[in-house]
Copies of this chain bind each other. A is one copy, B any other.
Amino acid sequence: MNFTNRLKKLREKLIELNLDAILISSNENRMYFSGFRGSAGYLWITNTDAILATDFRYTEQAKVEAPNYQIIRIISGSSWLKDAVTASNALRVGIEDHDLTLAGYNSIKAQLSDIAIKPKLVSTGFTCNQLRAIKDSQEIDQLIQAINFSDQAIEIVGAKLKPGITEREISWELEKTMRELGADGLSFNTIVASGPNAAKAHHKPSERKLEAGDGVVIDMGALYQGYCSDITRTFVIGKASPEFRKIFDIVLSAQETAEATAKAGMTGAEIDYLARQVIDAAGYENEFGHSLGHGIGIAVHELPGVGPNSINRIENGMVFSIEPGIYIEGWGGVRIEDLVLMENDCPRVLTKAHKRDLVEI
């Protein structure tokens, strides 16, 4: 039912853009509109047709996963695209210019070169991605399941942190725990940043061993049924220094302020500012060098944007992260991140893992 509805919205968009058809090539949009999770293939969608063309590796899987689509097996020298264009008399065909390679584009042009009336290929930019920003009920269920895996793993592994364990070991424990709980994989490479390493927002887990008094930023996510979770928690190994407590409390206050006061209809920039003003007011305006958050779903970073320059409006049904941080070169950092669903005009916090209780270990 959800796929029927997604196709319906896409077809409305085709009419709005005056397109006779769209050729979808990106993994995420192919999955979103068809249910097919293979790593290669195209969707050809017109007002009446829905074709999924893929290679021999995936045709059986495609039949099972995308029952609303006519499945075509692409073989070398196949004219499926030309046939589809001809059959539908398509004159304006949308393409995903942010996904299609230049070589892929030239190949499509060549395949269509001997059609009597060649269709115009129209770049659709992020049109399909925009349709993914508002989640349907099935997607919210899938996101909640992915979130549960990372929530559980961060609590289980967080409780075991102690001096002597390396960042890499922690990262692997987290991954192993999520997988054994039932996650399909990671939604992105886990960040475990301890002590001074926590000053780097995108630190890669190293052989550094935890030391007493370290702050440890863990940023991770699970993948489940094609959907991503994303959580950050900051731990302390042993007793927190007064400076750590102070910075932790500012970040937590910024994070909870945004969760408590964001409203549907605000822009991403307005929501970013809810948290940023707390950090600015505490005197750390130069130490929060990234956006407050990002949309999440099939991709770990997707629309809507939630940063200082995000002019998009946050609507009911959107799921996004709220993750302020403070980073101080040579000292370390603190970041706290939840995923929220905008629902009945207010954020509903989907992430359930403890925030404050876990600080002291």
- Chain A interface residues toward B at CB < 8 A: 56-58, 60-61, 95, 97-106, 123, 125, 172, 175-176, 179-180, 200-202, 204, 289
In the complex, are the beta carbons of B98 and A101 less than 8 A apart? yes
In the complex, are the beta carbons of B102 and A57 less than 8 A apart? no
- Tallying the copies of this chain within the complex gives 2
Q: Which of A60, A61, A102, A172 has the most CB of B within 10 A?
A: A102
How many angstroms from the CA of A204 to the CA of B200 in the assembled complex?
Answer: 37
In the complex, are the beta carbons of A106 and B97 less than 8 A apart? yes
A253: min CB distance to chain B, Å: 26
How many angstroms from the CA of A101 to the CA of B125 in the assembled complex?
Answer: 11
Jot down 16 A-B pairs with beta carbons below 8 A, ordered by A: A56-B289, A57-B202, A58-B202, A95-B102, A97-B102, A97-B103, A97-B106, A98-B103, A100-B102, A101-B101, A101-B102, A102-B102, A102-B123, A106-B123, A175-B179, A176-B179
In the complex, are the beta carbons of A100 and B101 less than 8 A apart? yes
Shortest Cβ distance from A176 into B: residue: B176
A30: min CB distance to chain B, Å: 16
By a CB distance below 8 angstroms, the chain B residues around A200 are 60
How many angstroms from the CA of A200 to the CA of B58 in the assembled complex?
Answer: 10
By a CB distance below 8 angstroms, the chain B residues around A56 are 289
How many angstroms from the CA of A106 to the CA of B102 in the assembled complex?
Answer: 10
